[in-house]
């Protein structure tokens, strides 16, 4: 049954069947082929997989990000970023990265961050002489920070699947996210020196027609959203799910009354987008619950643990092997699919070696975020090349130095776990 399950899943994926449908169909075919189980168990496991109160946070956080995006927060954050780093050499590329860090704390999505910030920054960067392919590489690399800087939808997914604290995941991502953002800025500074990109004033018409103080205040109001979420959860005022609802309400209030760019039409658009993306995610979660149950029934996680134990007893070597596997998975799979598919398999493995599940979750998500700029799937590569209207292969060439420094960061976090755990331990233990 195990071989049939894995082979049928692989065949379905090879013929381009969506991964959720592939997992569900392969599980059903395996049950029918075995003849020892009732096929109705598929429905039971699928429903039980999505019947969790904590899953309500997913559409809420998604809706909050959509509301903030349509409510005009991105340009305010870009202005704030420009005030902080715009005066440095290669300043506009640094502005893009810092703005993505700000926006990532609101949207929780890599592609949304790249699209929102990149759509505004591409013209000013091109105007002062940045090559299109380099601009696209900056946008793609900076956008992935949306998955790491909390609150992150991907972190929430891992927390639900792995049964760990959402707040520990969120706080664990803060320092790695900041370090990765600063690493990208360092690369941007030296590449600016090499390519002759100097300091440049961000020239966006809206910034000249509005009060600078007003824009800065509005920017800080937008950035209060993650503060309210994390502070509320940390103080015990509300759960992660309730925090997601509060973030939606806050987004509507500042988008409608403060920014005055949110209206009924845009609110409806945000709800429709959220409904579409959430339905896809929940189906995938349900299918993954069925698939994970099938793997557990066949003792696959235990077999993997036994196989790895026969090779090494070193947690450091295990982390190296897992990092390599996740790097490949991040380049081939969607983030949600990778989380739902791999977490039930890998968590028992790392637990057997005494590796903390929350720490591993951050490492896993960083791997998957790097996959956003790794061919062949690398969604941020496609988003940025489309925004900048430049061929994908040119973007890939320019993104390689950013990819290299992010991989270095990954191994730094892997083998100095205190970077990840210091903040959760200080605040929550």
At 228-247, the pLDDT tens digits run 888 888 788 888 788 888 88
User: Is 141 a domain residue?
Assistant: yes
Average pLDDT over residues 135-141: 94
User: Is 43 a domain residue?
Assistant: no
At 250-262, the pLDDT tens digits run 888 888 888 788 8
User: Is 23 a domain residue?
Assistant: no
At 263-309, the pLDDT tens digits run 889 889 989 988 888 888 888 888 878 887 777 777 776 777 777 87
Q: Which domain holds residue 280?
A: 54-428
Q: Which one has a higher pLDDT value, 15 or 73?
A: 15
pLDDT at 209: 52
Cα–chain-centroid distance for residue 90? 26
Task: Give one DSSP letter per residue of 46-59, joined into a string.
Answer: HHHHH--GGGGHHH
Least confident of 179-193, 284-298, 314-328, 379-393: 284-298
Domain count, the chain: 1
pLDDT at 206: 52
Average pLDDT over residues 199-225: 65
Q: DSSP 3-state assignment of 384?
A: helix
Task: Compute the mean pLDDT over every residue in the chain, rounded to the nearest whole number.
Answer: 84
Q: Are the beta carbons of 301 and 344 closer than 8 angstroms?
A: yes
User: Is 96 a domain residue?
Assistant: yes
Task: Give one DSSP letter per residue of 231-294, joined into a string.
Answer: HHHHHTSS-HHHHHHHHHHHHHHIIIIIS----HHHHHHHHHHHHHHHHHHHHHHHHHHHHHHH
At 337-352, the pLDDT tens digits run 788 888 888 998 999 8
Calculate what percentage of the chain has a pLDDT beyond 90.
25
Q: What is the signed CA dihedral for 16, 346, 170, 245, rounded to 10 degrees?
A: 50
User: Is 40 a domain residue?
Assistant: no
User: Is 14 a domain residue?
Assistant: no
pLDDT at 319 over 70: yes
pLDDT at 211: 62
């Amino acid at each position: 049954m195990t071989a049939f399950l894995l082979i049928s899943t692989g065949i379905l994926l090879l013929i381009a069947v969506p991964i959720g449908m592939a997992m569900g169909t392969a599980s059903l075919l395996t049950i029918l082929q075995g003849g020892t189980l009732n096929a109705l168990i598929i429905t039971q496991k699928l429903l039980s997989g999505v019947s969790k109160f904590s899953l309500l946070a997913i559409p809420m956080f998604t809706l909050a990000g959509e509301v903030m995006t349509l409510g005009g927060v991105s340009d305010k954050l870009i202005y704030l970023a420009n005030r902080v780093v715009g005066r440095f050499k290669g300043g506009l590329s640094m502005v893009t990265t810092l703005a993505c860090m700000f926006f990532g704390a609101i949207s929780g999505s890599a592609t949304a961050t790249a699209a929102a910030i990149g759509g505004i920054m591409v013209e000013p960067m091109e105007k002062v002489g940045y090559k299109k392919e380099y601009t696209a590489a900056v946008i793609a690399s900076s956008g992935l920070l949306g998955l790491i800087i909390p609150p992150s939808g991907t972190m929430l997914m891992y927390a639900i699947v792995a049964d760990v604290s959402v707040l520990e995941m969120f706080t664990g991502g803060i320092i790695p996210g900041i370090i990765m953002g600063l690493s990208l800025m360092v690369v941007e500074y030296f590449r600016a020196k090499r390519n002759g990109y100097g300091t440049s004033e961000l020239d966006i018409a809206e910034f000249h027609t509005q009060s600078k103080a007003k824009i800065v205040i509005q920017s800080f109001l937008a950035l209060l959203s993650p503060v309210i979420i994390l502070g509320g959860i940390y103080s015990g005022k509300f759960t992660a799910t309730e925090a997601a609802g509060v973030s939606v309400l806050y987004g509507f209030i500042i988008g409608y009354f403060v920014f005055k760019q949110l209206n009924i039409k845009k609110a409806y658009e945000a709800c429709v987008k959220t409904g579409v993306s959430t339905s896809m995610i929940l189906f995938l979660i349900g299918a993954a619950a069925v698939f994970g149950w099938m793997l557990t029934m066949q003792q696959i996680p235990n077999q993997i643990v036994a196989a790895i134990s026969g090779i090494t007893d070193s947690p450091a070597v295990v982390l190296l092997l897992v990092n390599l596997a996740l790097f490949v998975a991040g380049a081939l799979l969607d983030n949600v699919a990778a989380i739902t598919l791999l977490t039930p398999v890998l968590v028992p493995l790392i637990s057997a070696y005494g590796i903390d599940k929350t720490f591993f979750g951050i490492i896993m998500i960083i791997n998957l975020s790097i996959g956003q700029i790794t061919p062949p799937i690398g969604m941020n590569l496609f988003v940025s090349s489309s925004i900048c209207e430049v061929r994908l292969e040119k973007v890939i060439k320019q993104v390689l130095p950013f990819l290299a420094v992010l991989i270095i960061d990954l191994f730094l976090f892997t083998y100095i776990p205190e970077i990840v755990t210091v903040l959760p331990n200080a605040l929550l233990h």
